[in-house]
Amino acid sequence: MANRVRVRRNFPPLTKLELVDHALMQEVGKLIVTMVRRRTLKGLDADGRAFKPLSPGYAKQKREALGSTRADLSVSGRMLNELRIVVVKRNEVGVGYLAGGTGRASGGTFIQRSRSVSGAEKANYHANTGAGKSRIKRDFLGLTKDEQAKVERAIQKHVEKKLKAKR
């Protein structure tokens, strides 16, 4: 006994449907930037784990300047504020930092010294070379599994909407 399926609607060739586009990638980029900032401010890394604690000396300076010793990578806010969409194409988005900075902290106060270093440099310290004398890495760039799932759901929702519009 054979089953039959009859299609009663003609669709354009699926290869000609533009399911992802520049606008979608722009929205995905905004979503990623927002999620990375929020998670980092909670003191969590790209795997969703708590950042390693601050060194005692740095924690003391942060407590005196800001009243907190939490490792949330936000003394001046510059690094997270400078995180942005750096590349947008029809089917690709890149999030990161524009190049810049002197490589040397300057200023009389703890916060002034923090503000004098570019977001790109700070991100490099935390994610690649390690920050401080102990070279502690706090990798905040990237997405947790839950964040990846949110991005996938956003894309899926967009694709489903595009497919419904083509019916």
pLDDT for the residue numbered 47: 96
- For residue 105, give both structure tokens: 């902290």
pLDDT for the residue numbered 100: 64
Contact 81, 73 (CB under 8 A): no
pLDDT for the residue numbered 29: 96
Widest Cα–Cα separation across the chain = 85
Distance CA 147, CA 28 (A): 11
- What DSSP character marks residue 48? S
Q: Per residue of the chain (167 residues), what is the pLDDT tens digit?
A: 456 666 566 666 666 777 788 999 999 999 999 999 999 999 999 999 999 999 999 999 999 999 999 999 998 888 999 999 999 998 899 999 987 655 666 666 767 777 788 889 889 989 999 988 899 999 999 999 999 999 999 999 998 888 887 66
35, 126, 26, 32: CA torsion to nearest 10 = -20
Q: For the whole prediction, is pTM greater than 0.85?
A: no
pLDDT for the residue numbered 110: 67
